[in-house]
């Protein structure tokens, strides 16, 4: 693994105003007949000295926009120096922000953000005269627009045969009159599923946002299939919402669950698979016993990893792991068992780093080989009836899609983008695994030190959405996303957050945070989830966070906020993440084990997981010959003095590291020592 470094960072250059091309006030609605109606909320993100940052949230209350131009005038002498999520320019006091290709299309009801940094002297009053395509944004709806909506959660419900299950309904905005909602079962589908209460609901101007419950019942039947029935939630004039209800059969020994039978959170109430290969290595280390029974993921990092190794390399193959998982499942009573499998073999893998380059190349028919020799083979094994009771979590292609957002200056990444190989490979994997009812797909969403700048955040979310939308089952074919895989970002920075200011200066201005919008991984993962849901993903998607090596305990851990008044000093003395730079990713010195794997730790987070097995190297600290396709990445060399992606800092890597994936005893020992929470 490797590549997280690449935060494409916006540099705020004082006096950069000259870099902006001045153009006049533009008011050119491209769709002349479209009714434009909009609302703009302006807020100062920070202010210090003669600089400030502004955020604008735009809401489309009118017809869908295919491109948009926002204009406003500064009441004072403010000057935009650098903006994002739009093409910014300023002429006199008039500011113009035009849509970019990825955010030009905004359907009715859409909300999006743009922002800028600026300079000023004297006072800094907020602008108020916002207009889109020349039409003032008054916050009133356009003619015929309806922003009211039914909010239904969840939209997939499992109803145990002979039992009941429920979902909830509320309104999106306050109505002026009462709103009646009907809930009815579709005429076709499994007739055993019925609406047992809540079939007619009334929302008033005072209780509109209190969820009301609808209960479904599934009658006992004699068949042994899991029938489904669509339940329609409707209200006059509003977009109807369909809920898919699946009866969970209790007859016979039906071992063929339907896709609808996937549970909401596969980690909840389940034990995690203990990988005997990893466990044995951990146990053989002094003190390792204390964590050797933790669940870690199984990495299929090359085609040969699928089959058991023979002489010389006697690793367990995928079937060995699944057979062992079935044993662990049988031994733990009625608790289900969750096993995590990392799918990690795209052609041009890890295109912007070297340490985890893989065996397949796009130019050598790699995408085809990925499909037939890798994904198809894995899917066949996972689909085996023997494994039907396991909850199989697939972690799909770490550091692939994010590289298409930030690293298109690297030829290997350009090729991945130009040929569509990453997107097509990821879709192929998702499609194949989604067909298997007990497999749960989680796609990699990098980490805050990579995508936490808004110039990367929204474009990445859009790419995730367009990629998954292109699968056979669309946005529902994945269960969620994973962040921080094999990375070191702290879960929480306890002594400051993104809104902290030091002596009037935002921590965002510190060298460490460098204008990022996130200081830690939990806030990033939760916001990324919200963003993805706003782009259409089901509201029941969940996030995973890899906490295998982000503990940052040990003697150097700060115990409270610094009292320094210089923002850099404050952040450096207060942060628990002790890396030299947040773009460092290889075998980080000073790191410790993080939160032990656990389900439902925080809202929106399905689980903390140990996907990167502690003790396995991120990359060799010097050139090592190998037949795994792995190259020497200087970010793993402790003597390396860095590049623009880590601010020319030292790599912070431990010395004497073996190839990525190989056992690295010294690192394991350090992770144990610096564990937080501490081990034992």
Q: Which is nearer to ligand BGC, 1 or 491 (CB)?
A: 1
Calpha distance 272→325 (Å, rounded): 9
340 scored as a contact of ligand BGC (CB under 6 A) = no
Contact assessment for residue 394 and residue 428, using Cβ atoms and an 8 Å cutoff: no
Does 351 sit near ligand BGC (CB under 6 A)?
no
Contact status: 658 vs ligand BGC (CB under 6 A): no
Task: Please state the φ and ψ torsions of residue 462, each to the nearest 5 degrees.
Answer: -65, -40
Q: Which two tokens stand for residue 90?
A: 């300023």
Cβ count within 10 A of residue 423 = 19
Q: How far apart are CA 104 and CA 93, in angstroms?
A: 24
CA distance 622 to 631: 9
The number of CA neighbours under 13 Å toward the Cβ of 673 is 13
Q: Which is nearer to ligand BGC, 257 or 613 (CB)?
A: 613
Subset of residues 258 to 317 that bind ligand BGC, contact rule: CB under 6 A? 299, 301
Q: Does 356 bind ligand BGC (CB under 6 A)?
A: yes
Kind and range of the H or E run holding 277: helix 276-283
Q: Between 1 and 446, whose beta carbon lies closer to ligand BGC?
A: 1
CB of 486 to ligand BGC, least distance (A): 6
Give the nearest distance from C-beta 297 to ligand BGC in angstroms.
8
To which residue do tokens 């300023």 refer? 90
Cβ distance to ligand BGC smaller for residue 469 or 662: 662
Three-state SS for 128? coil
Rounded to the nearest whole angstrom, what is the least distance from the CB of residue 615 to ligand BGC in the complex? 9
Length of the chain: 680
By C-beta, is 190 or 670 nearer to ligand BGC?
670
For residue 550, the minimal CB distance to ligand BGC (Å) is: 16
The CB-of-610 to ligand BGC minimum distance in angstroms stands at 11
Beta bridge partners of residue 106, listed in sequence order: 65
Are 462 and 101 spatial neighbours (Cβ–Cβ below 8 Å)?
no
Q: Identify the residue whose tokens are 């990699």.
A: 444
Task: Give the residue from 619, 645, 647, 643 showing the smallest Cα distance to 633.
Answer: 619
Annotated catalytic, 350? yes
Q: Which of 444, 483, 661, 664 binds ligand BGC (CB under 6 A)?
A: 661
Task: Write the DSSP assignment of 23-59 as a string of letters.
Answer: -------SSTTS---EEEEEEEEEEETTEEEEEEEEE
User: Rounded to the nearest whole angstrom, what is the least distance from the CB of residue 250 to ligand BGC in the complex?
Assistant: 40
| E strand segments, 61-209 | 69-73, 79-84, 87-91, 94-98, 111-119, 131-132, 135-136, 150-153, 156-160, 164-171, 179-185, 193-197, 200-203
Task: Pick between residue 112 and residue 663 the one whose CB is nearest to ligand BGC.
Answer: 663
CB atoms within 10 A of CB 448: 28
Least distance (Å) from ligand BGC to the CB of residue 389? 26
Of 10 and 612, nearer to ligand BGC (C-beta) is: 612
CB 617 → ligand BGC: shortest distance, Å? 7
Asked if residue 396 binds ligand BGC (CB under 6 A), the reply is no
Under the binding rule (CB under 6 A), the answer on residue 618 touching ligand BGC is: yes
Which residue bears the tokens 């053989």?
Answer: 284
| Shortest separation between residue 479's beta carbon and ligand BGC, angstroms | 22
Binding residues for ligand BGC restricted to 173-212, rule: CB under 6 A: none
Segment holding 532, helix H or strand E = helix 521-534
The 102-141 site mask, x for binding ligand BGC (CB under 6 A), equals ----------------------------------------
Helix (H, G, I), strand (E, B) or coil at 409: coil
Among 660, 671, 672, 674, binds ligand BGC (CB under 6 A): 660
Taking alpha carbons only, the member of 522, 518, 525 closest to residue 497 is 518
Is the CB of 71 or the CB of 356 nearer to ligand BGC? 356
Q: Max CA-CA distance within the chain?
A: 79
H-state helical runs in 598-676: 665-673
Q: What angle do CA 55, 57, 58 make, to 5 degrees?
A: 140
Residues 597 to 616 in contact with ligand BGC, rule: CB under 6 A: 612-613, 616
CB 132 → ligand BGC: shortest distance, Å? 46
Alpha-helix runs per DSSP H in 314-471:
318-331, 366-369, 376-382, 403-406, 411-418, 421-434, 448-451, 454-469
Whether residue 165 contacts residue 229, with contact meaning beta carbons closer than 8 Å, is answered with: no
Q: Is 444 in the site for ligand BGC (CB under 6 A)?
A: no
Report the nearest approach of ligand BGC to the CB of residue 52 (Å): 42
Q: Indicate which residue of 63, 192, 329, 350 is catalytic.
A: 350
Q: Report residue 661 as tokens.
A: 């994936």
Beta strands 598-602 and 605-609, pairing class: antiparallel
- Is residue 487 at the binding interface for ligand BGC, with CB under 6 A as the rule? no
481 beta partners: 443, 543
Q: Is 81 left (phi over 0), alpha (psi -120 to 50) or beta?
A: alpha
Q: Between 4 and 170, whose beta carbon lies closer to ligand BGC?
A: 4
Could you tell me how many residues of this chain bind ligand BGC (CB under 6 A)? 11
Q: Closer CB to ligand BGC, residue 37 or residue 544? A: 544
> Which residue, 275 or 649, has its beta carbon nearer to ligand BGC?
275
Which residue of the chain is nearest ligand BGC when measured via CB?
Answer: 661
Give the 3-state DSSP-derived string for 458-482, with helices as H, strands as E and coil as C. HHHHHHHHHHHHCCCCHHHHCCEEE
CB nearer to ligand BGC: give 354 or 571: 354
Shortest spacing between CB 299 and ligand BGC, in angstroms? 3
Q: Catalytic residues, which ones? A: 350
Chain residues in the site for ligand BGC (CB under 6 A): 1, 299, 301, 356, 486, 612-613, 616, 618, 660-661
């Amino acid at each position: 693994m490797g590549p997280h470094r690449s935060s494409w960072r916006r540099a705020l250059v004082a006096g950069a105003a000259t870099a902006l091309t001045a153009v006049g006030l533009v008011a050119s609605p491209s769709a002349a007949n479209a009714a434009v109606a909009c609302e703009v909320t302006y807020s100062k993100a920070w202010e210090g000295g003669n600089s400030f940052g502004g955020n604008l949230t735009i809401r489309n209350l009118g017809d869908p926009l295919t491109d948009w131009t926002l204009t406003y005038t500064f009441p004072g002498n403010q000057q935009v120096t650098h903006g994002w999520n739009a093409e910014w320019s300023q002429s006199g006091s008039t500011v113009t922000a035009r849509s970019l290709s990825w955010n030009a299309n905004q359907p009715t009801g859409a909300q999006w953000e743009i922002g800028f940094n600026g300079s000023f002297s004297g006072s800094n009053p907020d602008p108020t005269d916002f207009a889109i395509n020349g039409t003032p944004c008054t916050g009133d709806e356009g003619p015929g627009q309806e922003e009211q909506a039914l909010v239904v959660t969840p939209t997939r419900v499992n109803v145990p045969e002979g039992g009941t299950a429920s979902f909830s309904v509320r309104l999106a905005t306050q109505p002026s009159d009462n709103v009646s909602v009907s809930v009815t079962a579709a005429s076709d589908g499994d007739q055993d599923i019925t609406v047992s209460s809540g079939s007619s609901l009334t929302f008033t101007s005072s209780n509109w946002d209190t969820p009301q419950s609808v209960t479904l019942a599934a009658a006992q039947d004699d068949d042994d299939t899991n029938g489904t029935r669509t339940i329609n939630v409707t209200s006059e004039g509003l977009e109807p919402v369909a809920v898919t209800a699946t009866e969970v059969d209790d007859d016979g020994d039906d071992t063929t669950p339907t896709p609808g039978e996937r549970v909401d959170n596969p980690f909840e109430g389940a034990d995690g698979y203990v990988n005997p290969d990893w466990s044995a290595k951990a146990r053989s280390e002094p003190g390792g016993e204390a964590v050797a029974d933790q669940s870690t993921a199984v990495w299929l990092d090359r085609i040969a990893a699928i089959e058991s190794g023979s002489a010389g390399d006697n690793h367990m193959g995928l079937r060995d792991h699944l057979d062992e998982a079935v044993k662990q499942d049988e031994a733990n009573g009625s608790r289900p068992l969750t096993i995590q499998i990392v799918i990690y073999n795209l052609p041009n893998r890890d295109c912007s780093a070297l340490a985890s380059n893989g065996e397949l190349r796009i130019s050598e028919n790699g995408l085809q080989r990925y499909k037939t020799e890798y994904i198809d083979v894995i899917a066949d094994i996972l689909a085996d009836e023997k494994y039907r009771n396991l909850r199989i979590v697939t972690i799909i292609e770490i550091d692939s899609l994010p590289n298409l957002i930030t690293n298109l200056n690297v030829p290997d990444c350009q090729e991945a983008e130009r040929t569509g190989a990453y997107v097509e490979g990821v879709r192929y994997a998702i499609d194949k695994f989604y067909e298997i009812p007990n497999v749960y797909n989680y796609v990699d969403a990098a980490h805050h030190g990579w995508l936490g700048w808004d110039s990367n955040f929204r474009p990445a979310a859009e790419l995730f959405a367009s990629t998954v939308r292109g699968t056979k089952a669309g946005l529902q074919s994945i269960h969620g996303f994973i962040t921080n895989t094999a990375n070191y970002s702290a879960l929480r920075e306890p002594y400051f957050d993104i809104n902290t200011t030091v002596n009037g200066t935002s921590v965002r201005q510190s060298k460490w945070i460098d204008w990022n919008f996130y200081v830690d991984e939990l806030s990033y993962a939760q916001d990324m989830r919200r963003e993805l849901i706003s782009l259409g993903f089901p509201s029941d998607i969940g996030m995973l966070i890899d906490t295998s090596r982000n503990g940052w305990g040990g003697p150097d851990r700060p115990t409270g906020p610094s009292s320094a008044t210089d923002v850099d000093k404050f952040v450096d003395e207060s942060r628990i993440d002790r890396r030299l730079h947040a773009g460092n990713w290889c075998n980080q010195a000073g790191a410790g084990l993080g939160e032990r794997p656990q389900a439902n730790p925080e809202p929106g987070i399905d689980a903390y997981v140990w996907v990167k097995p502690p003790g396995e190297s991120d990359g060799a600290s010097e050139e090592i010959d190998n037949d795994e396709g792995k190259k020497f990445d200087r970010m793993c060399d402790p003597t390396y003095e860095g590049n623009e992606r880590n601010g020319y800092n030292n790599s912070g890597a431990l010395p004497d590291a073996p190839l990525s994936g190989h056992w690295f005893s010294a690192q394991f020992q350090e992770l144990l020592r610096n564990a937080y929470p501490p081990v034992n």
